[in-house]
Structure 1
Amino acid sequence: MQEKKQRILEESIKLFVRKGYHATSIQEIVEQSGVSKGAFYLYFASKEALTAEIVDYYVKMVMEKLDTINEEEGTPEDKLVKQTALFLQLVSQHKGYMLMSVRDNLNVGENIDQIAKQVIGKIYHLTRQHMLDIYGQKIIPYLMDCSVIYDGLMQGYIKVIVLYELQFDPDQLATFIVERLKSVVLGLLEDQPSPQMTEEQLGIKQADTGLSIAGHCDQLRAEIARLDRDPEEKSQLQDIVVLLKRELRKDESNPMLLRGIIHELSAIPELYQYIQVFKQKIIPNLKG
């Protein structure tokens, strides 16, 4: 990233934290960053675009780290603890950004709304899979309720940590949170109350793991068609899936090409659960 652009991002966060997003002007940002207004507009079309890029920067960092955790060895419960610790560590390391998010309203455009939905979707699907791996099919009716409870625990601690600048041990707190979630889950499974929220109510669709290779590709294409994205981008993604389908049907597939395609599609949070099917159930069984 260009030095001036990086400086604008860093200094704007400081100003947003100190004064608030809405009270900070572009003039103040350029003065604090030591650049001209022309330089600002060279990198950002508006203050909203700047804020969207700040959010996008943190989102990409979080998603990359989540993928790393998910691909590591360990039990599903270990991975859930590591995922939780990751969020808490990021809160500790980037209090300025978190304070900006907590104290001010960042809902300044559809782009940020879309980014937020992508992150929430990926975190939900990761947590969902960890819960399924830990507790099995019996947890399915309560997956959404458990996700809301987990998110509530996380958000409560994060706000206190950020607003009061508390020092804490991320691993210890993560273990504590996951253990408390476990108590809730075991209580639900024992008492079996009626679920309060379901995936169907929110229109959340899950990948069908019993499909053929062609079926998985068709399901992936159908999901891409439902994405709230630019038509040209969706068309390009559809073409990538066609290439994936063609490669998977070969007697000897090209592993390097497959990895490249999967990596490209993995960057789309809404497709995460579908890509996991390819990673876990299809590609490991291919020859070549």
Structure 2
Amino acid sequence: MCCACSRLSSLPPEPYESGATIDIPLDTHSTKDVKAKEKELKEKEAELKRREQFYSRIYFAFVLAAGIVIEEKNWPSFFPVIHNDIANEIPIHLQKIMYVAFATLIGLVVCLLYNAVAATAAWSKGYGLIIWLLAVIYILTGIPGGFYLWYSPLYKAARTDSALRFGTFFLGYSVHIAFCVLAAVAPGFFFREGSITGILAALVIFPNDRALGSLNNIALTTKLNCSNPISSKPKPCLIPGLKLQQVFMYFRGSGKAAEMKREAARRTMMSAL
């Protein structure tokens, strides 16, 4: 045993070269597998994109066939809050009616905002905070109410030529006309004094405070002019009545009245069944 150890220890050391390189064989099969998997993943991703485009085309084809319009908010352009594209979506023979209806809606917005200015001035004169709060409530309810009650139904009725949507417009616009009449007169039993600018409110405020009364008179004049955007003469609630008459004449002349009766009867029968 000792002789074997001495023989092993007497072996000369192996030569070592400082500049020599050591070749380590790489596994070429693993790199090929990684590249193959990457290629497979890219192919699957491209296939998923093709399927997504295919199904989206089918979806939009079904939407167009069903007459469903996807409404994107586009007005006003700097801060879109509603969808409004009269020139491209409304038939030519109804575009004039829709433009006047849109001008009436803008006039309603201007009237309510100016009314809030007059209520703020009255509040600063000591008429109480409640009238300013009521003026804000008129804005928060009147503007969305005008849009959803009558403008949006009229827009959709003109775009799709639906008889039932015309009926919805008539109901909503009747409420709008009633509000215009009450706001122009501003009776004390309906509106708190100073919360809305009207004939009676201006007559009560002007003897006590001429500056505030003058502001109410200006606001009332603005309200009357905005209620008739196509005329420079103040005619309170005339343009809503004319607008209602124009739509009603088209409604009757195009045979939509009879169509609405038939459609309502059919829906009633279907719901009963």
Q: TM-score, normalized by length of structure 2?
A: 0.22
Asked which structure has the greater CA Rg, the reply is: 2
Q: TM-score, normalized by length of structure 1?
A: 0.22
User: Which has the larger helix fraction?
Assistant: 1
